[in-house]
């Protein structure tokens, strides 16, 4: 199964992260298809993060354990209710 998505990060923009699919990529037509697409995209993003962490560790840019711990912290922060 082919999956394509792009992530556009721009820290100077109000909406810092944009995630999308290329033009012409099949769009989901039902909520079930949309849920499957989102879950696949999340799995692919996690795989990409793991690859990036591995490359950084192999090249001595950072330690794998530190990057994994930081990634887990960011994910756990999603579960924390913040006061507004």
Kindly report, residue by residue over 47-82, the tens digit of the pLDDT.
999 999 999 999 999 999 999 999 999 999 999 977
C-alpha distances (whole Å) from 29 to each of 22, 34, 37, 38, 43 are 17, 7, 11, 13, 21
User: Residue 84 — pLDDT band, cuts 50, 70, 90?
Assistant: low
Which token pair is 77? 């922060």
Separation between Cα atoms, residue 34 and residue 18, nearest integer Å: 18
- The pLDDT assigned to 10 comes to 97
Separation between Cα atoms, residue 73 and residue 23, nearest integer Å: 34
pTM for the full predicted model: 0.83
């Amino acid at each position: 199964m082919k999956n394509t998505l792009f992530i556009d990060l721009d820290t100077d923009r109000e909406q810092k992260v944009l995630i999308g699919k290329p033009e012409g990529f099949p769009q989901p037509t039902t909520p079930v298809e949309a849920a499957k697409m989102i879950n696949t995209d999340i799995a692919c993003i996690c795989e990409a993060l793991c690859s990036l962490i591995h490359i950084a560790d192999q090249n001595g840019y950072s330690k794998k354990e530190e990057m994994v711990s930081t990634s887990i912290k960011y994910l756990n922060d999603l579960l924390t209710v913040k006061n507004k």
